[in-house]
Structure 1
């Protein structure tokens, strides 16, 4: 085989490799059809269920035996008819407190200052769960979109891309799921494919869909949560 023929074969192989990589990239950029979620609950938000404490024992009931009256002891060396003085524990404590001078009092230790709590960090999840509805046909679907993955098409027109999805930290007052979405409109089946026209770009909040939602005369869409 001549060197010229070898050179031509090498050039052809390199061309096929480059074209194959381009086709693969183009396929990854194409949106895929939305698939309904089978278990929409899943891991949408942080699990707040707590296992009950185990090994706990109930406190035994207090004894209900009757209290017997105890007569004060008598002094055998005292003369008959001499009254016996009974000193109660309260009287002994009061007598000791009177004998202690004020300068001998000990100050109670001051409680140590509590360290400042470290703010929690939000956890990022690889999948966002989205709810979309067609207000004309009343078609509604809950589907998943992978963060940074292939776009997902709803109702042959609406295209969703997710850039981030995270859940609230443990020290936040409200449990929430937040996702950064890019939504575009691109009808499928047209003769000349065109780039999707973007109609939304920004953060959506699962707890407050009306704060930053999709505004479109035909479609409504909002974030339901994030899944691991």
Structure 2
């Protein structure tokens, strides 16, 4: 009996030792002797990441700077309206007291030049000339001229044994020495026109 117990105890101890051997970790092994490792330098810190440089583009030529514009002059102040000058009165024509006339007989081609004082009737054959005014143009007129206002009456002379025809007026108006045809005498036998005005001294115009 004792021997059996001893065997059982010995077997139990062996089993326990085997279990302990399995559960116990193996002891660390000493490192193998060799050359010590060379220390490596620490890695450099990474630099900033730069974007890729863009492709080179053509640079446009510089635009010329605009020329400085001259400042516009200031508008002048409005001037007060000037009063219009009063027109000068026209100069008066010089009046004379004698008109120089010329008459023509269309039948005989006879011509005669004679003087006719203002207001005094002058007969030439069957015509009677009565000058009412005779003037010369003023210095401010563009064309020098002589003008006369007169009447011409046809008054045939009485012939013995024949009835005298009644008098009639054949002309009344202004005659112009520079333009005789402007207002001519209309008569079948006679014609007349103004030459000029003449006097020793001009008559004061009224």
Query: Which of residues 109, 134, 143 is equivalent to 1:165?
Result: 134
Deviations 1:35-78 (CA, angstroms, capped at 9, x unpaired):
xxxxxxxxxxxxxxxxxxxxxxxxxxxxxxxxxxxxxxxxxxxx
What is the Cα-based RMSD across aligned positions, in Å? 2.0
User: 1:217 aligns to what?
Assistant: 188
Cα distance in 1 between the residues matched to 2:156 and 2:132: 22
The alignment status of 1:227 with 2:170, answered yes or no, reads no
For the residue of structure 1 that corresponds to 2:169, the secondary structure is strand
User: 2:118 aligns to what?
Assistant: 147
Cα distance in 2 between the residues matched to 1:167 and 1:124: 7
Q: TM-score, normalised by structure 1?
A: 0.46
Cα distance in 1 between the residues matched to 2:166 and 2:114: 23
User: 2:179 aligns to what?
Assistant: 208
User: 1:179 aligns to what?
Assistant: 148
For the residue of structure 2 that corresponds to 1:210, the secondary structure is helix
What is the 5 A alignment of 1:44-59?
A: none
More relative contact order in 1 or in 2 (CA 8 Å, sep 6+)?
A: 1
| Structure 1 runs, 4 residues or longer, greater than 6 Å off | none
Cα distance in 2 between the residues matched to 1:195 and 1:148: 22
The alignment status of 1:188 with 2:169, answered yes or no, reads no
Report how many residues are paired.
Answer: 114
For the residue of structure 1 that corresponds to 2:182, the secondary structure is coil
Deviations 1:65-116 (CA, angstroms, capped at 9, x unpaired):
xxxxxxxxxxxxxxxxxxxxxxxxxxxxxxxxxxxxxxxxxxxxxxxx9885
Give the unaligned 5+ runs of structure 1.
1-112
Give the unaligned 5+ runs of structure 2.
1-83, 200-206
Q: TM-score, normalised by structure 2?
A: 0.51
